[in-house]
Amino acid sequence: MEKFAIDNMNLYYGKFHALKNVNLHMEQNKITAFIGPSGCGKSTLLKSLNRMNDLVEGCKITGEIKLDGEDIYGNMDVNILRKRVGMVFQKANPFPMSVYDNIAFGPRTHGIKNKKELDRIVEESLRDAAIWDELKDRLKKSALGLSGGQQQRLCIARALAIKPEVLLMDEATSALDPISTGKIEELCLKLKDNYTIIMVTHNMQQALRISDNTAFFLLGEMVEYNSTDAIFSAPQDKRTEEYITGRFG
């Protein structure tokens, strides 16, 4: 089933044409990976999906992006959109507060005040992010004291706590060691049963390991989009082939 549909989408930063006529339909309960060299627009596209690009001055978008058939740049409330489409950033960004309050921030934002309910959500989210056992005795401790890998999984738990439908991951493992990366990849494979995951990655091995579909971007253009197996075994476009065989990028 189709979750996100991007049609004839162009994005400009002022005069700079950052994304050129992108057409991309992403499926539910799948992991879609965006790959491509730095500056190709893949992160920009990801940030358009929960409208974090609204923060960038001079950013203009034409075309359509639909979530379950509904135009996200139309009448949809941006705060509701971001509740439905959660995001994990490249650099782990836990709030400077306790582990518990970090997870409870989202639910509280959306009106949940009941302590029992919050306790339940915190435990469930941490379990879903496979970090409950490590943190259950440290719920009241500052989240800034955690290791980098733990912080990133905490951020995933924080995003899961608002029950999103889609999880965007912007190079979420690029600052982590291989063991933490492995844990998060494992987590993604588990999470796709319940969530749709869209990830930007610099690491082609990672895309190959966990994604179902892959889109390759170059200079603001989406060059090729196909199942991950097809992209890596039989790329249709010469530029895709050159990139995945390491001839540039």
Partner 1 sequence: MRLSRFRERAMQGVFFLTAITSIAAVVIICIFLFCNGVPAMAEIGFFDFVGGQKWAPTNVPASYGIFNMIIASIYVTAGAIVIGVPIGILTAVFLARFCPAPLYKILKPATELLAGIPSIVYGFFGLMVIVPFIRENFGGNGSSWLAASIVLGIMILPTIIGVSESAIRAVPESYYEGALALGATKERSVFKTILPASKSGVLAGVVLGIGRALGETMAVVLIAGNQVQIPNALTDGLRTLTANIVLEMGYSTGLHRQALIATGVVLFVFILLITLSMQAIKSRSEKNG
Least Å distance, CB 12 to partner 1, is 21
Least Å distance, CB 222 to partner 1, is 24
Least Å distance, CB 158 to partner 1, is 7
Measured in degrees and rounded to the nearest 5, phi and psi for residue 52 equal -70, -15
159/208 with CB nearer partner 1? 159
73/95 with CB nearer partner 1? 95
- Pull the structure tokens for residue 235: 């790329």
CA atoms within 13 A on the CB side of 76: 22
Per-residue buried b or exposed e for 204-224, using 16+ beta carbons within 10 Å of the residue's own CB? bebbbbbbbbbbbbbebbbbb
Q: What is the rounded distance in angstroms from the CA atom of residue 199 to the CA atom of residue 120?
A: 28
Q: Provide the 10 A C-beta neighbour count for residue 33.
A: 26
* End-to-end CA separation in angstroms for the chain: 33
95/132 with CB nearer partner 1? 95
57/193 with CB nearer partner 1? 57
3/158 with CB nearer partner 1? 158
Contact residues for partner 1, defined by CB under 8 A: 50, 52, 55, 79-83, 86-87, 89, 91, 93-97, 105-106, 109-110, 142, 144, 155, 158-159, 162
Least Å distance, CB 8 to partner 1, is 26
Least Å distance, CB 116 to partner 1, is 21
Residue type, 9: M
